[in-house]
Every structure is written in structure tokens, then in C-alpha cells.
Amino acid sequence: MIRSVVRGFGAALPKRVMTNAEMEQVVDTSDDWIVQRSGIRQRYIAGEGETTASLGEQAARAALANAGMTPDDLDLIIVATSTPDNTFPATAVNIQNRLGMHHGFAFDVQAVCTGFVYAVTTADAYIRGGLAKRVLVIGAETFSRILNWTDRTTCVLFGDGAGALILEAGEGTGANSDRGVLTASLRSDGSHKDKLYVDGGPSTTGTVGVLHMAGREVFKHAVGMITDVIQAAFDATGTTPDDLDWLVPHQANRRIIDGSAKKLGIAPEKVVVTVDLHGNTSAASIPLALAVAAGDGRIKKGDLVMLEAMGGGFTWGAVLLRW
């Protein structure tokens, strides 16, 4: 059978690092308050000329170099983002052009913080369906551009960045020992829309709007929803937390990450945590974390890796793959 195998990874971050100490100069907050409630110590903020597309392009070029490929080797680009450069065309098409790629096809996926999980699952479906052999999957965000910088409950949490994976069609036997995507579990429930949303849009206000979040409500639902899709992935493959080498979660909040791992019985040393470095970069957080852990040698060829996320909508999902 066909499996979608990871061939390369890459990441990109804005030049500016904004520490919690700097955040104290912007809103009424403190380093202790931010770290205690989220685990975040710094985040990266896009500056002039740095956009979702420019960061996505950098991450894409890093992934291509890591894979030893060029844009000519790609069939499809999927970009997960909630902060596109333009309402249209898709940021994926923008990045396709920036890469000098004039063949194949490209489109965006919008599932907020779960976007990268949705995008990897979509890429896997195109590969297994025979519509693409090599897919560049990017998560890229500039959430700093949709924050209310007077709201201390939200502006301290988010950052900007981009990460990318290249998935390629490979042969497998259908066993869990195959390299590549083994299973995916996706969910959404629109009844939770008002708990995490942006109050603007072309069809409503004609403006971009800013982010609003009912933090306690999001936290209340997060651990249960995350463990639901992770358990579904385990059940689909007959695997257990003991079989897992790495959990790479969406980097939103250290307490949610720790609570989900504990509930599932996943050892803390198996959890990749970068929220302290990047903050919540929405759809970019999982590929950024993958790039850190694969880049420093923690994630190795043959490792069993679980990706999971929850985002506005609510959307949530998990992907189990063998690196």
C-alpha cells in the first residue's frame, strides 16, 4: 500500500524575539503570571516585510534543502494558516510563485490551530489517492497582526513563525512498522465558535478584526478533546502510549500539554515542548516543534510520532506517523 513518508522538514522565525520582560512594558502583566499560566517565556514577532508567505517560503526552502529536493520535485503545496497575506489568492499560491514553481497545484487549509494536522491528513489523502507524489505541507502564521495589544489575556500568548514538512509516496505493507502516516483522527464542533474567534471578516465587517478567546472555556474542553482523538489514533492502529516514541502537541499552553499527556499515560520525557520558545503560533506550532526535535536528533528515522492539536471552531485532531 501507499504511505506518505516524511522526507524533509524546515522552519522559519521572524528576526524579532519578544520576551516576557518586554511584554511587561506593553500591558499590565508579569513574567511570573505568563509562565505560570502558559509556560511561555518568549515569542517571535513579525516585522516590516515579514509576512505569512515570506516566512512560509523560508520554511519551505529549508525543508527542500533538508530533503535534497527542488521545487521541480513537488506536485502540490498545502498551506495551513488563519493569517493569509491576502483574502485571496491563497497563500499557498503566493509561496508557489515565490519558489519559482509553475506546475502542480496549491491551496490553503483553514482550521486555525489544528490546521497543520488537517493539512497533513489532506496531503496523505492526495498521495494515497494517486493525485500527488510529493507534497509540501506548511503551517505559517503572523498572529501578531490580529491581536488586541491591550488585552493582556490574549496578546501574551501568541507568536509568529512557519514550519514545513515534505511528504512523499512510499511503499508500505499496511503494518504499523511502515514509515509514513499510519492514521488520522479529525473532529470539529461549530457550536463552540464564540469561545475562540476573530471579530472581523470580508463578509461581515469588511475588516480583519482581532482575536477573542474565552480562555477558561477553551482550557475546560481542550484536554478531553485532545485525548479523544489521540486515543482514536491508538485504537485505529492497535498501538498504546508505551509504543509511542514522541508526542508532538500543538504548543498552546504548557498546562494543557502536561494534562493531556498525563491523562493518556504518556511519559513526560516523550513530549516535545517548545511553547516556552515560540508561544502559540497556531498552525505553525507543530511543524516548528518537529523541526526543533528532528533537528536536534531527538526524533529519528523509525520513531513513532503522534501529532495533535485543538483550535478555534472548535477543531481538533491527531495524526500518528512513523518518522
Give catalytic residues, as residue numbers.
113, 250, 280
User: What does residue 270 show for φ and ψ, rounded to 5 degrees?
Assistant: -95, 0
Which has the closest alpha carbon to 249: 276, 217, 228, 226?
226
SS3 content of the chain, % helix, strand, coil (to 5): 35, 30, 35
Q: How far is CA 96 from CA 6, 18, 77, 99, 210, in A?
A: 20, 30, 7, 5, 28
Q: With contact defined as beta carbons under 8 Å apart, do 112 and 282 qualify? A: yes
What is the SS3 assignment for 89?
Answer: coil
Kindly write down the DSSP assignment for every residue of 63-84, as one continuous string: HHHHHT--GGG-SEEEEE-SS-
Q: With contact defined as beta carbons under 8 Å apart, do 272 and 293 qualify? A: yes
The residue assigned the cell 516576557 is 20
10 exposure class (CB count in 10 Å sphere: 0-12, 13-18, 19+): buried
The span from the CA of 289 to the CA of 272, in Å, is 7
The span from the CA of 251 to the CA of 255, in Å, is 10
